[in-house]
Each structure stands twice: as C-alpha cells, then as structure tokens.
Chain A
C-alpha cells in the first residue's frame, strides 16, 4: 500500500443493501417499474426507509437510445418522492458503470450525505423487440441522414457499429502476441453458463459444452455468439452508507476496502496505446496501491464480460495472472471454477448468461456472495474478500470488498 490510510476515503463507506428487479430477456414492462422495484428492494435490504435516503447516484442518467436507461435521476427522485436529498449525481462519462457506486462512496466519505441510493436499469431486451441488436444500432434503419460524430465518427463509416467488432480486434492482437486460443477464451463463457445453471434469475441456464461454444456462429473473429452478452430487461440497486451508520442497518454491511478508477492512456477504443489490454489494467494497477491485500486474497471475482475478452483484460489487469498469461490461467477452466477454483469467476453467470445488467450485476453478485446469500450458487466456505469490476474499452472502475466474520 502506498497511500496513507487517511487518504483512502472509500473506507468510510459501506454497501449496506442490494436489490434487484425481475430480470428477463424481454419482459415488456414499464422500465421505470423495474427501476423502482430494485430501488425499494435495496432500501428494504439495508433496513432503511425512503426517509433515510439523502443521496442519489446513477449511471447513465436518462441518457441513451435502445433501452439503455430505464430511469434517470428525475424519474427516481420524483418516482419515490424523496424529500431529504442532500447530494445527487447521474451521468455517463464515469469510470465504468460502477463509477456511480464509487461516486456515492466518495460523497458519503466527504460527509455530504449518509445513505445513497444507487441504481442502473436497462430494458435493451424489450427495446430490441424481435429485431436483434441491429434494431437499436445508430443508422440501423438504413437512414441516410444520420451523421456520425464523436468516437463513432471513426468507426461507423467503416460499418463497425458494435463494440463486438472493436473488442474483437483487441482479442485478435492478444491471440497474436501471446498465443491465446479460442478454447482458452471459451472457458469464460462455459464457466459462466455452468454458474447460470444455479441462478434462478439467469437468462440462459441450459448446459453449454466447449464443443457448443466452438461450433457457435462467428460474430466478428475471433469472437463467436457466446462471447457476446445477452441484452435483457432488469434493474439493480444498492445503498451506499457512511460506515458509522452501521447501528441503523439491518445487517452487517460490506466494507469497501479500496476503489480504483484510473485511465492512463488515450481515452479511446482504438487510440489506447496497448492493443492487447484496456484501461482495466490502469484501474487494476492503482487498486492494489490502496490496500495491503493482494490478488491472492480474493475469494470471489465478478468482472465485466460484455464481451468475453474484456474479462481477459480484467483478469490480467487486476493482477490475477501476469500480462499475457490469461490464456494459460483459463486453460481447462479449473482456476475460475465456482466450487473449486482459486478465483471463482462470474458466479451468477455474468452478463454472458445472466443478462446484460450493465456492470451493476457484478457488484450485486460479489455482495450477495460475501453476505452468504447466494443460495445454490454460493461459493464454498463463504468468501470474505471479493472484487467487482466494470467497464470495457476506455472506461474502468473496480471495487475491492471485504466482509469479515
């Protein structure tokens, strides 16, 4: 640890409650209903009432087409008619989706508020209808009037609207430099599907073998269908509380040992200097400077898998193996197995099989595992140290969590 302890402000924050709405491939329900279901569930889980909530935090706000947001700041603030909000922050230019949780931790740590409601809500499944992902792509309707700007200016004219193709190029370069194979990458998807089989809320729970993975249709080489997460409808919420409010809470909270939010290179999908990794490696490197814990202390890891290769970037970036050695680490799948691995990974099925809850599902699962509330999929010997990592491309945020008994 290189920071003085009194500068690690996130330790004055805890996760005191977690909640989730119904989750489904296409629920065709009002997304705000799902959002508020998750929010109320989190408040209840913490043993609080709406009158106790004095902070609000969310990603990405009400922004985005195609079911990207099921409820922003105004929707939730007014929807639950809060009367005591001291601080709020909703937006999209965060260090990953979990940036909203990290913002909340910093706000309570700074004394601006005591109990922050944090949420992320998606309804991409219903928004797509039966049209698939192409239905919600910019210009997907064939309109000639839409013009690309911002980062999209540099990829959309080349017929590359999906992060699948951008991420695929990183995977290709990793394969090229380090000899990583499709079988090794495929362990992430196969492992997730196995875990999803024990998660009653998972989207895909039928068994999937390595042969199934390898014979799936290609999306953008070397990524196949099962390397891509599944859009869904659902909302996830947390309560982030000031650590000294523990007496008000229903159950012992999850401690935030450290967070990291770094972005050291160019903030871009295609201009970032290292084509075999992502800023996940910047956040990962900084995280371990804020704690005496080591990667080997982690009992459960839930790490972003919008596309499976992003998990590779997190595995290496977080120091669970050396740079370039994720292929060997994943070989055979033993290291990441929920019941016997050194690093039980994406224990609810991740976004690949449990649905694209967009970052928040990883923190939810790590908390549930640390609380020992994961039911059939509970990691053995109730874990005490967990990580939640979210973000791909030029955004990355990670939390190191502890729950000592």
Chain B
C-alpha cells in the first residue's frame, strides 16, 4: 500500500514539473524620497495611469484638514506611473514605469497670501510639459486632494 502511494507520488512529481518562468525585477519603477508620507493614490483609466501623491509633514497636515488652509512650506510630490496588466492575475492593473514626477511647493508673500510653485519632471530630472497648461490649476489639483483614510 505504502509502495503504491510512493510510486503514485513520484509519478505525480515528474508530471508536475512544468517550465518555471522567473520574473525579471524592475527596481527602476520604485520611487523614493526621504521624509515623504503617502497622502493618497489616484487611478486614471482614461489616460491609463496610476499615481501616488506624497507630502511632507505640512502637506500631510493640510491634506487632513477639511477646509484646506494651505500654509507656507508644504511640499507635494505626485508620482505617475503608466498602468499595465498585472502579470499572473487578469483582473488587476498595476504600475509600470514612472512617467512623471510633479512637485508643488507652497510659499507665502508678505501679505500672507499663499502661492503654489509647480514643476514637472521625469524621474531623471528632465523637465516635462505640465499635464495642464494652467500650472496654478494643476498645482491646486495636487495640493487639494484629501488624504486617503488609513487605519
């Protein structure tokens, strides 16, 4: 009885050996900058992108504030990746390569009015055209997103 079972198991082993396709890891798709926390994430299926908005402490505080009183010194970084189908699971899209990194910094003038400095670059620092001709509008879009709910 044991021998039979053994033979069956062994034969199963041989037939179960299918070709293994090892994945090629792509660390260049990771984004990192010290001291940044995740404010929220954003999917856009119309243009096929997926993004994360990060912020420094000031930006994070403002993202949690329902009335969004921006103050000087907030710094936001919106990283956008191209979407791609997740390998091995039909039903999910995930991030592929990074396509842009947009930065917004708030400053205030002597009268206390807050303005938004906007710049857009590839992750290698190459400047890009903004997604929105109106930089101020784009900056406000990034800086005004409410924080995603975390436990």
Q: Do A and B bind each other?
A: no
Binding site for A on B (CB under 8 A): none
